[in-house]
Chains A and B, each alone.
Chain A
């Protein structure tokens, strides 16, 4: 799950992990930016570097979560190839771990994507996948293609050896139909522009851009088309609205009464709203032209709390299977 900053990547990733866990499934929600956004969302203590169950979904589904820590992932990674023992400690003393996780080219990103792919490929004793889906709260759109493509770069740098092989294996998973990159956006110009650019970049890199999730969609207003229509019959409309307000008990309609005074400000608010709606309509069209399924989630007027998150999961669940292209 990627998207411009603040569009709802973390929220939508969490909602999707809940939605995909429905009906007895098990999903893993992965965080890679060390911000503990998942813990905050689920109102739990900060996540350790350890997979743990954080929520149940409808019908016995389970959502597990993991905040990947690059340093710990590197040590894991080294363990995978060697029983490192004292060499591992020596590396740490040398500052190699710091080097690898903060400065070396892309190693950090290799570790993060590598760990997520490991969870995707992991099997239980009966050779069934441990997780039905792994949902990653990924870096923002501006960095996503490089982030996911990092293994290609590394495979090119480390031309032989286990790192090379590992990088290629990760790339195979990321470019396969097993992977889907979803882009979260708002119906605002900049996020939409970033989404469109992001889709093009992902496609150019051979990465599977899969869908667009439009988040925080504003509710429609009955009669908003009237507001958009060029100011026809303004006086007539003003009069009629003043009478309606008055009828609703909001004061007198004529002679500068309260109802009459309400008309201008409320109408102005309505026009702004309508302006916004018109703008959004255009942006929607632009998104639909990308040739990907577009799914919309409403704005929760009270912000996202746990019940709200489950509500978003329901909405996403309902849309997930209907929005798919034929």
Chain B
């Protein structure tokens, strides 16, 4: 760990500003925001004065678009619109496996040999990138970028692969392959004599020919020959590959590297984050901390979910049964179901909101309600949220009808014309209260999930990034993410207590 913070707050600015920090790797499970975080960190570092390159491995073009580039390719392109007044700049590139592989071949083999390799069908499909190649080439590219020493900081995004940490295994796998007997055996027939290879193989001649014979029949003679030619042509280069992969691996362990594990505040994502944390420790990779992305904030945290729901119920019931109330002025509100003073007291009481009970009764009440899909509470969840137990309860799936979202029966549909204005407001008020209740529960759940993680991994520094209401699709969005990431309000200031949180 390069700069262990005294508290458990992950402070990204010092990390980005430190000239000793040369590589930041963002990893995490699928869809949690790795690419977004990598891009946001790149923008921030550049605008704080560092010459930065973001290496993305994401096949989607969205990142390029969010940086105002029509396309990203295998060479760093300068990102326009970056504030370079602090002396930094931002470049971005997307790993092109085939190009990277081709470049390696071209750089390390004489022209004839290079052509032989590049034209080999086995090579062509290998380099086009199936499982595995991506990881090697990511390491290769990272090594190149770092070796060039042209950049102050390299921010690396990791692929949405079966395991985001696969690239850590790349050197080992390549090594065991290269040390393996297979490769020598494969090379043997292509070499003059090929005796040396076979001696190492240490198999009886009969065994060897049985194997090649089997492979030959299985793969078709042509393929085996292609593979052999390829391996022979690559022979001298393999050592270099391996040395570079090993060097990059060591680079990742060096103090100039910082790994950030990105996670969403959800059980599964955090479970996987915990796995990453452990795996990085096992590989002695320097973990800078965890980015908890898309945490929800909430205003009016003093109004609890239960209270908001009860209030919504009151409104819905009144709105349906009392026709003709044109105006509800404070003085006239005869139909009040709870004294106002209560609410104020309640607010004062709940305001500190230090901890959330592990199982809040309201959410239990809610899941109980969803067993009976016809409860009046469900309008908030019309088409969208099929009650979980529906499958057990009703085959006809009534709660999951195909009506478009929001077109379900609104309380206000029952209104008479003369009362529209106010009853609209009442309907809206009920809706807002339900939304609030839902948000409060989400908040509570997210925090519980977070707290479970921090209890298990108190050593991991943490930064929270709020969920932005819109999608992140431009520099402004990336800047906002960077700011939120950097401005962690230390100690006990959960996102929800900051009114400006949700933009």
Contact = CB atoms under 8 A, between A and B. Distances in A.
A54 B157 CA distance: 36
B328 A109 contact: no
B144 interface: no
B160 A4 contact: yes
B412 A222 contact: yes
Q: At the interface, is chain A mostly helix, strand, loop or mixed? A: helix
B226 to A, nearest CB: 7
A37 to B, nearest CB: 8
Given A269-B439, A296-B383, A302-B363, A250 B389 contact: no
A219 B442 CA distance: 14
A125 interface: no
Nearest to A227: B428
Contacts of B62: 189-190, 193-194
Interface in A252-303: 252-254, 257-259, 261-262, 264-270, 272-273, 275-277, 279, 296-303
B255 interface: no
B328 A243 contact: yes
A42 to B, nearest CB: 14
Contacts of A299: 384-385
A65 B426 CA distance: 50
Contacts of A308: 388
Interface in B369-413: 379-392, 395-397, 400, 402, 405-408, 410-412
B431 A105 contact: no
A175 interface: no
Interface in B59-97: 59-62
Size class of the contact patch on chain B: 35 or more
Interface string B329-346: 110010111111011100
A257 B177 contact: no
Nearest to A255: B330
Contact of A258 (B211, B347, B432): B347
Contacts of B406: 220-222, 224-225, 277
* Main secondary structure on B side of the interface with A: helix
B425 A163 contact: no
A257 B196 CA distance: 90
B111 interface: no
A243 B180 contact: no
Interface stretch (A45-53, A126-134, A202-210, A310-318): A310-318
B471 interface: yes
Interface in A90-144: 90-91, 93-96, 98-99, 102-106, 108-109, 139-143
Choose among B29, B219, B427 the residue with the greatest number of A CB atoms under 10 Å from its CB. Answer: B219
Contacts of B215: 91, 96
Contacts of B388: 300, 302, 305, 307-308, 310-311
A297 B220 contact: no
Contact of B429 (A6, A84, A241): A241
Contact of A94 (B32, B59, B201, B340): B201
A234 to B, nearest CB: 12
Contacts of A319: 400, 402
Interface residues of A, number: 120
A188 B467 CA distance: 13
B361 interface: no
Interface string A145-156: 010001001101
Contacts, number: 392
Nearest to A77: B218
A84 B303 CA distance: 70
A262 B430 CA distance: 13
A252 B434 contact: no
Nearest to B159: A142
A6 B386 contact: no
A40 interface: yes
B311 interface: yes
Given A244-B315, A276-B469, A251 B436 contact: no
A140 B173 contact: no
Contact of A193 (B31, B60, B223): B60
Given A275-B470, A314-B397, A248 B30 contact: no
Best-surrounded residue of A191, A219, A250, A312 (most CB of chain B within 10 A): A250
Contacts of A164: 220
Contacts of A177: none
A6 B30 contact: yes
Contacts of B133: 105
Given A153-B128, A243-B333, A311-B388, 11 more contacts: A95-B182, A102-B131, A103-B174, A219-B381, A220-B384, A240-B421, A240-B426, A248-B433, A298-B383, A298-B385, A317-B397
9 contacts: A58-B391, A90-B211, A95-B181, A161-B223, A162-B218, A197-B61, A220-B405, A222-B412, A270-B431
Nearest 5 A/B pairs, CB to CB = A6-B31, A5-B30, A220-B406, A249-B338, A265-B299
